[in-house]
């Protein structure tokens, strides 16, 4: 990696960066507004984010399916067109996007560290350049049609696992409620009183998540303390899964710009097939 690589920005790189910055700004604004919006506002944001998430989910599913079909099915076979993905695939991905959108918005509504969004804005150029770096390493090894897809997948899983490990390490230094020698009912009552949002729908989701987390913390500090260590490991595994369900849609959204900017020839390839 030379200095020129980090300082040279193509029009596509700048477009990708602009979209990424706009998405981060949108997420930051949503995090600020969610506690104060009504049910109608929450519903609008939920559907908007779900529609945006459907784009990368459907794109990745079609690319993966196309790779399998190219390997095993003749391109001119009717079976090829029938299996490449249509309305059913769209509905399934939109259903998944609705779930991920709800998880993402719930996580945003609970975030109070505005500094994290400023950090994301500062790291956006690195995010763009990493895609260029990985794509440049793969260009001589991957078919051109799948280059953008493989690059996106490598960055998605690599970044996702890295962020998950960082969250896990920070978890050891992040203070949690001291629930030792406290009855579970009292702990749940205390934690649910901390939920304060205007939308009843969002309030129910936040209360449900708060109850789950408080129960896990209570088990980790009381039951699991003097019993099987595997139980404690299982509890922290569930908490890590919770973090991943937030990271997953977040990274998908941040790859929207990459997919839109660098995969312009997708329609031509699909029409040819």
Q: Is the per-residue pLDDT at 29 higher than 50?
A: yes
In sequence order, what E strands does the chain have?
none
Long-range contacts of 7-11 (CB under 8 A, 24+ apart): none
Alpha-carbon span 231 to 219, nearest angstrom: 9
92 belongs to a structural domain? yes
Alpha-carbon span 134 to 147, nearest angstrom: 10
Our count of domains for the chain comes to: 1
210 belongs to a structural domain? no
Q: At what angle do helices 11-33 and 115-138 cross, to 10 degrees?
A: 150
Q: How confident is the model at residue 273 (pLDDT cuts 50, 70, 90)?
A: very low
86 belongs to a structural domain? yes
82 belongs to a structural domain? yes
Answer positive or negative: Cα dihedral of 37, 39, 44, 47. positive
**Distance, first Cα to last Cα, the chain:** 37
Average pLDDT, the chain: 85
Q: What pLDDT, on the 0 to 100 scale, is given for residue 91?
A: 94
123 belongs to a structural domain? yes
221 belongs to a structural domain? no
Give residue-wise pLDDT tens across range 183-231.
Answer: 888 989 988 888 888 899 999 999 999 998 888 888 877 765 555 677 7
Give residue-wise pLDDT tens across range 147-179.
Answer: 999 999 999 999 999 988 888 888 777 788 888
251 belongs to a structural domain? yes
**What range defines the domain where residue 94 resides?**
9-174+242-272
Q: How much is the pTM?
A: 0.86
Q: What pLDDT, on the 0 to 100 scale, is given for residue 183?
A: 86
* CB-based contact 65:84 (threshold 8 Å): yes
Give residue-wise pLDDT tens across range 35-72.
Answer: 899 999 999 999 999 999 999 999 999 888 888 887 77
φ/ψ region of 85 (left if φ > 0, alpha if ψ in -120 to 50, else beta) reads left
């Amino acid at each position: 990696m030379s200095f020129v690589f980090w300082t040279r920005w193509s029009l596509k790189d700048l477009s990708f960066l602009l979209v990424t910055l706009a998405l981060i700004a949108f997420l930051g604004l949503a995090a600020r507004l969610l506690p104060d919006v009504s049910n109608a506002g929450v519903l609008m944001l939920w559907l908007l984010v779900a529609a945006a998430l459907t784009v990368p989910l459907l794109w990745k599913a079609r690319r993966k399916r196309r790779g399998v079909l190219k390997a095993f099915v003749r391109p001119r076979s009717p079976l090829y067109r029938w299996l490449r993905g249509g309305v059913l695939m769209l509905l399934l991905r939109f259903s998944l996007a609705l779930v991920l959108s709800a998880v993402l918005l719930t996580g945003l509504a609970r975030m109070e560290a505005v500094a994290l969004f400023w950090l994301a804005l500062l790291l956006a150029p690195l995010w763009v350049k990493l895609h260029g770096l990985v794509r440049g390493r793969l260009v001589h090894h991957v078919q051109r049609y799948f280059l953008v897809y493989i690059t996106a997948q490598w960055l998605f899983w690599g970044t996702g696992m890295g962020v998950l490990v960082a969250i896990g390490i920070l978890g050891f230094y992040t203070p949690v409620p001291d629930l030792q020698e406290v009855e579970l009912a009292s702990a749940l009552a205390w934690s649910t009183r901390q939920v304060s949002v205007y939308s009843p729908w969002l309030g129910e989701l936040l209360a449900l998540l708060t109850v789950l987390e408080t129960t896990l913390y209570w088990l980790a500090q009381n039951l699991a303390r003097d019993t099987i260590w595997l139980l404690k490991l299982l509890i922290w595994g569930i908490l890590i899964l919770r973090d991943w369900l937030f990271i997953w849609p977040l990274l998908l959204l941040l790859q929207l710009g990459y997919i839109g900017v660098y995969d312009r020839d997708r329609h031509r390839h699909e029409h040819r097939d």
